[in-house]
Amino acid sequence: MATYYHRAIQDIKDNGFLSATTIITIALSILIVSAFALFFTNANDIMNYWGKGVRIMAYLKPDTSQKNFPDIKREIQGIYGVQDVNFISKEEAFKRLKEQMKRQSSILMNLNENPLPDAFEIRMTASSQGGEKVEEIATKIESLPSIEDVEYGQKWLERFTNIFDLFRLAGYAMGGIFFMAAVFIVANTIRLVIYTRREEIEIMRLVGASEKFIKSPFYIEGIIQGTLGGIIGIAALFITFKLISSSVEHSFKYELLNIRFLSPEFYCGIILCSMFVGWLGCYISLKQFLKA
């Protein structure tokens, strides 16, 4: 094994330019794929965070009698997953609206009467803050006879989820493309190394060297290139992340959200994947060009 390892290192040194090209290509592929993974990890955190802040607004029908309000509140509170329910009268809602629209107050001045309905503001328990669970609670509330309409920021969340899914899909596609590109480049490098060493390989065969003896150094070479490419790619991403994360965190500081780097398990997985790329490129090349 030490002989194979020694020969693989020697090959990398002898074909310095080719090896460097391969390592850089793998590093760039890993960098791009991991950058996508980093984006998704943090975007997912943000989505979850925003999801947790979702409240349901249940608007009452205009003809609902005030004396029924406590019963309706009780009914809503009885729904599984509801934590607390606040009544917001239409006067209170109008007051809030005026505060929010200070600059456009002239629009509201011209109104003869308050157009806003009475409403309940509903918060969910921690375990019921997922998208589907909120939707389920909202449907139950909407089915109550006194409720005219229900709103819970679902549409923009759905829209964002759709864009997020689109990005995820693009990420998978790019990951696949970069994986294939890296495999192709490794395969080509090994092919060129085999070509430059074809005479040596022929001599090895003539003196009775086994296929394992001939091929093992190439596999080790591919795996070394893959590992180095993976480590360099992850290191480059980490440095870039450190450089830009402080400014990004500043934008989110009011949201108490921390931007985080990939987990150790994840980047170890990426480096393993990168080693696999090196091995696979080598396998393809050897299969094509080193037929006994």
Partner 1 sequence: MIGGKDKSSIIQMFHVHKHYGSKKALIDITLNVSKNDFLFISGPSGAGKSTLLKLLYLGEPVSEGQVLVDGMNLSRISRKRIPPLRRKFGIIFQDYKLISTKTVFDNVALVLEASGKKKKFIEKKVKSVLRTVGIEQRINALPPSLSGGEQQRVAVARAVVGSPKIILADEPTGSLDSDSADIILNLLKGFHTHGGTVIVATHDKELIRKSGERILYLKQGRLLGPTPI
* Pattern 9-28, partner 1, x by CB under 8 A: -----x--------------
Q: Which of 109, 126, 207, 243 binds partner 1 (CB under 8 A)?
A: 207
Q: Which of 213, 238, 252, 266 binds partner 1 (CB under 8 A)?
A: 213
Residue count at the site for partner 1 (CB under 8 A)?
16
Contacts within 8 Å (CB) and 24+ apart, 242-245: none
Q: Which residue has the tokens 């850089």?
A: 24
Shortest distance in whole angstroms from residue 233 CB to partner 1: 32
What letter does residue 1 receive in the DSSP assignment?
Answer: -
Going along the chain, which residue ranges are E strands?
Answer: 56-60, 82-88, 119-124, 147-151
Does residue number 62 form part of the binding site for partner 1 (CB under 8 A)? Answer: no
Q: Which is nearer to partner 1, 12 or 27 (CB)?
A: 12
* Integer Cα distance of 128 and 148 in angstroms: 23
Does residue number 292 form part of the binding site for partner 1 (CB under 8 A)? Answer: yes
Going along 34-180, which residue ranges are E strands?
Answer: 56-60, 82-88, 119-124, 147-151
Q: Which residue has the tokens 């089915």?
A: 143
Q: Which is nearer to partner 1, 63 or 202 (CB)?
A: 202
Shortest distance in whole angstroms from residue 265 CB to partner 1: 38
- φ, ψ for residue 58, nearest 5 deg: -110, 115
Does residue number 5 form part of the binding site for partner 1 (CB under 8 A)? Answer: no
Binding range to partner 1, per CB under 8 A, among 54-62, 79-87, 136-144, 205-213: 205-213
* Integer Cα distance of 274 and 291 in angstroms: 26
Query: Is residue 159 within 8 Å of 13, Cβ to Cβ?
Result: no
Query: Is residue 186 within 8 Å of 225, Cβ to Cβ?
Result: yes
Does residue number 1 form part of the binding site for partner 1 (CB under 8 A)? Answer: no
Shortest distance in whole angstroms from residue 245 CB to partner 1: 48
- Give me the residues that bind partner 1 (CB under 8 A), please: 3, 14, 199-200, 202-211, 213, 292
